[in-house]
Structure 1
Amino acid sequence: MSAVAATALVSVAACSGGGDGGARGSATEGTITWWGWTPDAPVAQSLIEAFNEDYPDIHVNFVSKPISGYDAVLSPAITSSDGPDVFNVAPGSANGGVETFAGGAIDLRDAVTEALGEDWETQLAPPGVDGLVVEDKVVGLSAGSVYSGTLWINQDIFDEHGLTPPVTLEEWRQVCEDLESAGEGCFVQGAGNGAFDMDSFEAIMENIEPGLYADASRGEAPYTSPQFVQGMQIWKSLFDDGIMQAGAVGLQQYPDANNEFMSGNYAMIMMGTWYSQYTVEPIMTSAMEAAGVADPEPFTMVPIDFPDVAGTGNVGSLFGDADYGLAVSGRSDQQAAATTFAVWLATSEAGQQAVANTLNDIPSLTSVQPEWDDIDLVDPEEQTERMQDLTAHAAESTEPRFATVSADLNDVFQEVLIGVARGETSIDDGLAQLQAVVDAE
């Protein structure tokens, strides 16, 4: 990095603002701790290594926290000087909700303005701007966005048994029967994790009527409408008809379902664009080892459209938000170095290229795309074109994932989906509960 660029980031850190009127510490050296539920440790390490090419004297320690318990451990940590210097936040009411943790972060508006200029918002993807600002305070800077609405399949399993990925609900049922007859697991989901249940349900609703899911969360359409009744019926049928594996509600998406898929025990899983990282051979190898596979041999996995479960022909919808924003703790004594890291990863071409090439996120800086020739895919012939198509399609998506869902609605949504799946909540009662939350808001 040039001396001019380094000097600019010193200025950025100095004006980014902590509780004492200026960021504490040096902008070019120090040791900082970064907490997040994502990215996976190997991906985080690759980003840190790229950062250290420009800033060798800032040492970043990434601490991976379980997605299911992230909020619970972060809440007390950011009120302590022993907590993280940098921590992940996310739009809406999912884990790391930006409104929940805004009070513990410094305002990064001056920092991003210094880095990109007064028109910085036009240079970054909208999900990473709109979703991480609270009352004009830039709480976090987005590394990139993720989009859900896809299934991922183990192409090797499908090829071994001469099967074609399902396009309709009936084909999905039949593929599961065929795979199970052959001794293979079909589809796996950690349905005990409400956030991923919401992904599946939104995919169903996008198939029924695109945009209706987000409209209802904003109070612009009723949850009690026939379309949502149909959506809940389809959701429950995934359990009743054996598409969801036995005991799905007793599992979490991470680590349980992820480990089952990475171990080759199931042929399909509901995941979004963040799963693209596992098409990269060394990252998949690490993930398989983490799942307990001895001497792993990476398999070919590819994304497919969520099946046309309602028979409408509305397929291929993706919905997403910023994956995570990097927030700088107001209690950190290394705010300047932490700001340097956040700004570099989220706004610099080098940082965003490093993000793009991991395939974990769609880059926030709109001018950056993955360097496909430099990415070590497991099966380039099978995967390259599909990954390029997915990346391009995601960049065109405008539907939100969690950004329009309030904390109260999020809580009730997760309870209702699990209750309906178990047969403990009727569809009408569940939808009435959702509508009551929106009405109260």
Structure 2
Amino acid sequence: MMHYSRNFPMTRRSFGGLAAAIAIAAGIGACGGGQEQQGSATAGDITWWGWTPDAANAAKIIEAFNQEFPDIHVEFVSKPIDSYDSVLSPAITSKDGPDVFNVAPGSANGGVQTFEAGAIDLTEAVTAALGDDWKSRLASIGVDGLTVGDKLVGLSPGAVYSGGLWVNQDLFDEHGLKHPTTLDEWKSVCEAFRAAGVGGFVQGAGQHAFDMDTFEAIMENIRPGSYVAAAKGEIPFSDPIFTQGLEIWQSLFDEGIMQDGAIGLQQYPDANNMFMSGKYAMIMMGSWYTQYAVKDAMVAAMEAAGVSNPEPFTILPIDFPDVAGTGNIGGYFGDADYGVAVSGMSQQQAAATTFVTWLAASSAGQQAIADTLNDIPALEGVTPDWDAIDLVDPEVQKESLQTYTEQAGGSSVTRFADVSADLNSAYRDGLIGLIAGTVTIEEVLSALQAVVDSER
């Protein structure tokens, strides 16, 4: 769980002075034979592969890094999320591959279990940066999710959390509508928007990771913690609450909350572009969407969605509606958004280690992360400098965003970290298949339970 109660500053001078020691320590830990890493810890050209952050935020992060390390040139290479695993696998076995690459907890793209063999162990590096008590200074949700055995495969710059909705507040104001707080209200608001010629809620239900987010949000509403407990085998999927959860999932389509053709669309780019172009008023996204409360990020996202001469609109996070009528609202779940790993094949391991450790374990690097509003920082005590961030409408957004990031960042409930690859696949087949009419609720739950049983 993240706490924002203590500050552990690392000055530019002190962190820069540690760069060489960090790199050497990481090399010893990774190679096991006492070999130092190749290259300089303060100079070199490195490439960083990942599906996130977006280009604008990556540029901001690299610019901040170069204020301290001007002689390390970092090139961020954005890779599509859906093909990330297939392009990374051969790349990290080659010296021509990336020096730094993103990994993720659990069974998501860039899975840490899948790619840990291609990365060095960063334990010694983070110890050199933060001391022996480094685990107490970083968010546990990031450390635990990026560790395989005793090996720290990647360092988490920050976490992302899902479990709520985002709304186009300008559309709500224009049509005189209030945020939905129950299933019936959600249905009614969608109907009102459609009557006014505007889409209500949009989801690319063909991209099952976001279906899993919606289903976990439903289960958090029914009984907090049940989704993760079932994935761990602590409660069975035969518990009636999971039947209730799938019935509510199906009702989102039957009651017209999900738009027509939802399972034929992807969340990215389809649903995202529909929301960013102002065609829909609500979308299921997580804390990473906070970045679009900033004017330049919102304009860039609207342009990417095909909007010419975009005027940024006001977005706000809201709680997932009380779809089960339990009163359990405001529950969020998350993981490290990504971890930055250093390739074992890199010819610039020392410089790469300096970069990833600065990004995830220095106050300057973490402030750069915080101010993009893409991730909730991993280092305790670091929060966004709200007064310096150019929000679209600070009077409307600032207090809401502050509350949201604090509430979400305080959650220890996982998103993908406890979902195995096979369980992930079973969710994909079940959640989409149920809507397509190819499986029944009973068959979905039986398949999920079979996976959990096989992994015990």
How far did 1:394 drift?
1.4
Within the alignment, does 1:115 sit opposite 2:125 as a pair?
Answer: no
- For the 8 Å contact 1:67–1:254, the answer to whether it is kept is no
In structure 2, what is the equivalent of residue 363 of structure 1? 377
In structure 2, what is the equivalent of residue 102 of structure 1? 116
Within the alignment, does 1:256 sit opposite 2:266 as a pair?
Answer: no
How far did 1:76 drift?
1.4
**C-alpha separation in 1, matches of 2:423 and 2:73:** 39
How far did 1:5 drift?
3.4
* 1:258-315 Cα deviation digits (max 9, x unpaired): 1111111110000011100000111111111111111110000000000011111111
Within the alignment, does 1:8 sit opposite 2:14 as a pair?
Answer: no
Matched residues, percent identical? 65
Question: Which of the residues 316, 323, 326 maps onto 2:330?
Answer: 316
Gaps of at least 5 residues in structure 1 are none
1:249 partner letter:
I
Gaps of at least 5 residues in structure 2 are 1-10
Matching of residues 119-268 of structure 1 within 5 Å: 119-268=133-282
TM-score normalised according to structure 1 size:
0.98
Go from structure 1 to structure 2 and tell me whether the alpha carbon gap of 1:143 and 1:4 turns closer, same or farther (over 3 Å shift). Answer: closer
In structure 1, what is the equivalent of residue 313 of structure 2? 299
Question: Which of the residues 391, 396, 408 maps onto 1:377?
Answer: 391
How far did 1:154 drift?
0.2
2:166 partner letter:
W
Question: Which of the residues 407, 417, 420 maps onto 1:393?
Answer: 407
How far did 1:3 drift?
5.7
SS at match of 2:45: strand
Within the alignment, does 1:51 sit opposite 2:65 as a pair?
Answer: yes
In structure 1, what is the equivalent of residue 6 of structure 2? none
SS at match of 1:106: coil
Matching of residues 320-331 of structure 1 within 5 Å: 320-331=334-345
In structure 2, what is the equivalent of residue 90 of structure 1? 104
Q: Cα RMSD (Å) of the superposition?
A: 1.1
SS at match of 1:118: coil
Go from structure 1 to structure 2 and tell me whether the alpha carbon gap of 1:6 and 1:223 turns closer, same or farther (over 3 Å shift). Answer: same
In structure 2, what is the equivalent of residue 273 of structure 1? 287
TM-score normalised according to structure 2 size:
0.95
- For the 8 Å contact 1:154–1:301, the answer to whether it is kept is yes
In structure 2, what is the equivalent of residue 27 of structure 1? 41
**C-alpha separation in 1, matches of 2:105 and 2:251:** 30
**C-alpha separation in 1, matches of 2:13 and 2:436:** 61
Question: Which of the residues 383, 396, 409 maps onto 2:423?
Answer: 409
| Mean Cα deviation higher: 296-305 or 75-84 | 75-84
**C-alpha separation in 2, matches of 1:241 and 1:327:** 44
**C-alpha separation in 2, matches of 1:173 and 1:201:** 17
How far did 1:40 drift?
1.2
**C-alpha separation in 2, matches of 1:72 and 1:253:** 20
SS at match of 2:101: strand
**C-alpha separation in 2, matches of 1:260 and 1:275:** 14
- For the 8 Å contact 2:12–2:364, the answer to whether it is kept is no
1:158 partner letter:
F
- For the 8 Å contact 1:188–1:269, the answer to whether it is kept is yes
How far did 1:72 drift?
1.6
How far did 1:24 drift?
1.3
